[in-house]
Structure 1
Amino acid sequence: MATLLRKIGLIRLHNRDTEDPKHHHNHRGGGGGQQSASLRGKGGAKSGGHKPQQQHPAGGAGDASPGPGKGKGKRAAELAQRDKPPQPAAGAGGSLVPAARQQHCTQVRSRRLMKELQDIARLSDRFISVELVDESLFDWNVKLHQVDKDSVLWQDMKETNTEFILLNLTFPDNFPFSPPFMRVLSPRLENGYVLDGGAICMELLTPRGWSSAYTVEAVMRQFAASLVKGQGRICRKAGKSKKSFSRKEAEATFKSLVKTHEKYGWVTPPVSDG
């Protein structure tokens, strides 16, 4: 028996002498099959490319790690489990953060619009007035009561008994950081940067030209100046004057004109003129 044990010891010692020193050190440190597997590429390169599975004789005292086939399968399973993304806990779905962000945006938009309504109500010159559409704080019908009294548009309003120009403003979720969509409802206007569907050609109504500092009052004063500078008139042509503007047509027209002006530039008057 002693002779047999010595032979086994000699075989083990011979195998150790042919292994990479780092590889040998890992076994002495108790790293087991998993650590040897992680260093197989390096050990094989330094020891002349001998196969790791031949380093331990079958049934040897150091054969506590699984065989090559089992070791690879176990290692692959461990790596797959490690790299698997963590699952959210029950009741903690990913929709909580977007929901909280949406709630915050709604609060910011609501506070801003409430302040805007209060400021408009205090205007001494009654330049504009506001009515909520279906009692929605985010959908306004705005009446423009005044334009330049020296303009032909003002004369048109007097001659046709038009008390105001009616516009609709809808405010997006991220207002005031994005502009409202604004269009003319009535009367039917020609020129004055008012296009098909009642769309309005003004750079400040685009994301590129918008600033969160702009108020509804300032936007409306700019629009009034644009109407006059663009020589806007109330349409009096038979048949056409009775045709109402369409929101769908206005949205399509606005989208098209934005693309055109982003390429060739804008010609509406600056905000300072409003």
Structure 2
Amino acid sequence: MTQSLLVDSHCHLDFADFDAARDDVVARALEAGVTRMVTICTKLRLEPRVRAIAERYASVFYAAGTHPMSAADEPLATVDELIALADHPKFVGIGETGLDYHYTSESAEIQKMSLRVHIAAARETKLPLIIHARAADDDMAAILRDEYANGPYACVMHCFSSSVSLAKAALDLDFYLSMSGIVAFPKSQELRDIFATAPVDRVLVETDSPYLAPPPHRGRRNEPAYTAHTARVGADVFGLSYADFAAQTTANFDRLFWKAKG
């Protein structure tokens, strides 16, 4: 039987958690049917390190931006700086960027400025914007709508675990929602219900590894191979076979992350 193929649309392979076993982690992902991974740079000064990882592995692509929790501590990115990165053949997305008021509400204004810079770069490059949103649903929805009115852009709400209202705001703009291991947690029924209302052609899967490992690995280091566990839960949410859900989310990924198309 042909193995169902998946994509981990968001991981952090540059993190120290993987330094001792990066080759093995990528190999295990391939063995699990996770044939492509997008590793995310969260601080632009670290972009050369993340780029080198993407260059080392045929199955790994990368994106870069300033994470909202670092927005106050890092230099404000410029649109030109982000556009220049897009020249690299394995650079496939802008971000992650966004708003996080759970831990860093005091930097809300600089987060908003940074977010708008990243949106402008996504609009110019036609690459997907990768959004991190936590405890900032109203401001996030307002900025996404406001900026879309200034000109369309593509976007994925990475590791989506926010409200039904933010999900609707994103979907109304034809954006994508990405399932992380959170959707597989036993107490995440409300989140599963939100995903069940989304069009299946607007859903991606990811690990956000090394964080948020799904059962049966919860509480341990996550890795791209575990995308398969989340995808099995996703298949149940949509009433699909694992193979059909894997094929659908991979097609969705190819549509959004067009530079990484298989």
Q: What's the TM-score bracket when you normalise by the shorter of the two chains?
A: under 0.3
Structure with greater proportional strand content: 2
Q: Which has the larger radius of gyration?
A: 1
